[in-house]
Amino acid sequence: VPQHVWRINLDTPEEAHQNLSFGAADRWWEQTDLTKLILASNKLQCLSEDVRLLPALTVLDVHDNQLTSLPSALGQLENLQKLDVSHNKLESIPEELMQLPHLKSLLLHHNELSHLPDGFGQLVNLEELDLSNNHLSDIPTSFALLINLVRLNLACNQLKSLPADISAMKSLRHLDCTKNHLETVPSKLATMASLEQLYLRKNKLRSLPEFPSCKLLKELHAGENQIEILNAENLKHLNSLSVLELRDNKIKSVPDEITVLQKLERLDLSNNDISRLPYTLGNLPQLKFLALEGNPLRTIRRDLLQKGTQELLKYLRSKIQDDVTSPKEEPPVTAMTLPSESRINMHAITSLKLLEYSEKQAAGIPDDMFDAVRSNPVTTVNFSRNQLKEVPPRIVELKDAVCDVNLGFNRISSVSSELCLLHKLTHLDLRNNLLTSLPEEMEALTRLQIINLSFNRFKVFPSVLYHLLALETILLSNNQVGAVDPLQLKKMDRLGTLDLQNNDLLHVPPELGNCESLRTLLLEGNPFRTPRAAVLAKGTAAVLEYLRSRIPT
C-alpha cells in the first residue's frame, strides 16, 4: 500500500505548496478524515502498522489478498464497524482486535485459522461473524458474551461439538454449522428464542434435538447426516417452520404429528429409508414442495412421485378417507359434567369468543354446541376437518357477531343461504371441499376481505366474487378454473392477492396487467404458454408489466 494512503489525513496535498486560490471544493484543510478504505482483490502480503494513522475508519476491506497476518495496530481503530479480511491466508488473529468496541461485522471466512483468541467475547456489539471455511476444531466459550450477534457462520470447519454456552446468544437468528464433524447438538441450543434459520447439513448427527423454545424457527436444514429417527418431540414446538430439509439420512418413518407443522412449505425427505408415509401429510395447507425420491415407499408408485408435489398431495388426501377408522371417542360423561358441556370449551366461548368443533370427523355439529353459545357473542367459528356435507344451518344464529368462519377440509358441495346472512363476515375459509359454484346471495357479504377456496372443484371463476368489492385476498389454487375476467377484476380496487395456481388457464388475458392493486398474482401450474416460467419467476410486478406490454393498442 503506498505510504501516502496511510498518511492521507496528515499530509497536505501537493497543490497546497503552489500559490493558488482555492475554490470551495478544494479547501483541503477542511477535509474530513478518511472513513472507508477498500483494498480488496490485490496482492497484499502484509498491512502496515501505519493503519493506526487512520483512526476515523469505520470500514476496512482487504478481502481477497495474500495476507498471512494482521497488524496489531488494528486494535487502535476504535471507530471501526466493519472489517472484511476474508479470502486471505491468515493463520491467527491478533489479540488487539478484541479491543474494537464498535465492531459490528467481522468477516474471516476462507482463511487458514485453526484457533481463535479467548477474548472474542469482548466484541459485544458484533452482529455478524463469518468464520466459515477455516480449520477450527473448537470455539472459545467467551462466544456466549456475543449477545447482539444476529448471524453466525461456522460452516466448513472441523468442529466436533458446539459449546452449550452458545445458547446465551439471545439475538442470534441465523446459525450455519454445515459441513463439520458434529455428532450431537447441545440441548441448550433449543432455548435460543430468536433463531430463524439453522443449518446442520453434512455432519454426523444421529438425531435431531428437541426445540421447545424455537418458536420462530423457519428453516431447519439437516440433510446428509445419519439421523435414524424423527420423533413427534422433535417437531411439536416448531410452529413457524416453513422449510424442513432432511435428505440423505437414514430415517425409517415419518410421525403422524408432522401435521403440527401447519406453516410448512418445503419438505425434503429424499434418499432415506422411509417405507410408508402418514396420509395426513396431504393436509398441510401451505406445502408446495415435497421430495420423496430414493425411498423404499410401498404405498406410492414411482410414476406418481414423478408427477410433482400437487399430484402427490392430492393422492395422499384421497387416501385419508380410507384411513379414517372410528371418529375420536368422546370423553366419558361423569356425574360432574353435564352431558351438554362434556365436550364444550366454555372458556373459549366466553373469553376467546371462539366456537370450535374441529378435527372430529363428525358428519354434523351437535346442537349442544350452538345451545352453549346462548347470548355470548361469538366472533370466530372453526368447524374444519370434519365430514360435513353442508354448512350447519344453525350457524345463522351467530350472525350478529361472527366475522371469521373456517369450514375447510370437509365435504361441503354447496354454500347455503344461511351462510350468506352472516353480514359481518370478513374471513371465510372453505378450502378442501367439493364446491363447484357459489350462490349469488353471497353478494350480501359486503365486508368479506379474505376467501379461501383452494382445493375445490370450480371450473369457472365464481362470478359473485366480482361484486364483493371489499375483497383483499382470493385464494383459488388447485381447482379447474379456465378463465378470469380482467375488466371485472380491475373494479376490485382493494384486491391485493389473487392465487390461481394449478388451475386450467389456457390463456392469461393481457388486460390483467391493468389490475394495479394486485401485489401478489400466482399463476404457476397452469397450461398457458405465455407468460413463460422465466417471467413468472420474476414476481408479480414483472408479470403485470409483461401483460401490459401485450395489450393490443
Provide the CA 461 distance to its chain's centre, in angstroms.
Answer: 30
Whole-angstrom distance, CA of residue 233 vs CA of residue 220: 15
Q: Specify the pTM.
A: 0.58
Ordered by start, the domain boundaries in the chain are 346-549
> C-alpha grid cell for residue 158?
472441523
Q: Which CATH number fits domain 346-549: 3.40.50.300, 3.60.110.10, 3.40.50.720, 3.80.10.10?
A: 3.80.10.10
Whether 286 contacts 263, CB under 8 Å:
yes
| Chunked mean pLDDT (size 10), the chain, 553 residues | 90 62 54 90 95 95 96 96 97 94 96 93 95 95 92 96 87 95 86 90 89 84 93 82 95 88 94 88 90 84 81 85 44 36 69 87 90 87 94 93 94 93 94 95 95 95 95 94 94 93 92 92 90 88 92 86
Whole-angstrom distance, CA of residue 340 vs CA of residue 358: 17
Q: Which of 511, 469, 513 is nearest to 494 (CA)?
A: 469
* Residue in the structure block whose three cell numbers are 484543510: 29
Provide the CA 252 distance to its chain's centre, in angstroms.
Answer: 27
Whole-angstrom distance, CA of residue 392 vs CA of residue 406: 12
What's the pLDDT at 324? 46
